Amino acid sequence: MNGRIDLAQAEAVAELIAAQTTEGLELAAEQLTGELSRAVLSIKAPLIDLLAQVEAALDFPEDVAEIIHHDRFARNIKHQVIDPLEALLVQYQEGHVYREGISTIIVGRPNVGKSSLMNRLLQKERAIVTAIPGTTRDFIEETVSIRGIPLRLIDTAGLHHTHDALEAMGIEYTRERLSRADIVIFMVDGSVPITSEDRRIFDLVKNRKAVLVINKSDLPAVEPVPAIAQQFAGIPFLAISALHNQGIEALKTAIYSLATGQQGPAELPRIVPNLRHKLALKRALMASKAAADGLTGRVEAELIAIDLRDALSALDEIVGLTTTEDILEHIFNTFCIGK
The vertex-34 CA angle with 318 and 265, nearest 5°, equals: 95
- Residue 133 has a pLDDT of 46
What does 140-188 look like in DSSP terms, one character per residue?
EEEEEEETTEEEEEEE----S----HHHHHHHHHHHHHHHH-SEEEEEE
- Residue 154 has a pLDDT of 83
Question: What pTM was estimated for this model as a whole?
Answer: 0.70
What does the domain layout of the chain look like in residue ranges?
Answer: 7-99+274-332, 101-260
- Residue 336 has a pLDDT of 61
- Residue 290 has a pLDDT of 93
- Residue 129 has a pLDDT of 44
Q: How would you classify the pairing of strands 102-107 and 149-155? A: parallel
Dist. CA 45–CA 81, nearest whole Å: 9
Distances (CA, A) of 95 to 12, 54, 122, 151: 15, 37, 23, 14
**pLDDT digits 0-9 by tens, 239-289:** 999 888 899 999 999 998 888 877 656 677 778 888 889 999 999 999 999
Question: If you classify domain 101-260 with CATH, what class do you get?
Answer: alpha beta
Question: If you classify domain 7-99+274-332 with CATH, what class do you get?
Answer: mainly alpha
Task: Count the residues in the chain.
Answer: 339
DSSP element (H, E) containing 253: helix 248-260
Tens of each residue's pLDDT in the chain, 339 residues? 777 888 888 888 888 888 878 888 888 888 888 889 999 999 999 998 888 888 777 765 655 555 566 778 888 889 999 999 999 998 888 788 887 788 888 888 888 888 888 888 887 554 444 444 444 444 577 888 888 888 888 877 655 455 555 455 555 666 677 777 889 999 999 999 998 888 888 888 888 889 999 999 999 888 899 999 999 988 999 999 988 889 999 999 999 888 887 765 667 777 888 888 999 999 999 999 999 998 888 878 788 889 999 999 999 999 887 666 766 676 677 666 554
**pLDDT digits 0-9 by tens, 153-196:** 887 765 545 555 545 555 566 667 777 788 999 999 999 999 88
Same fold? 7-99+274-332, 101-260: no
Contact predicate 244/216, CB 8 Å = no
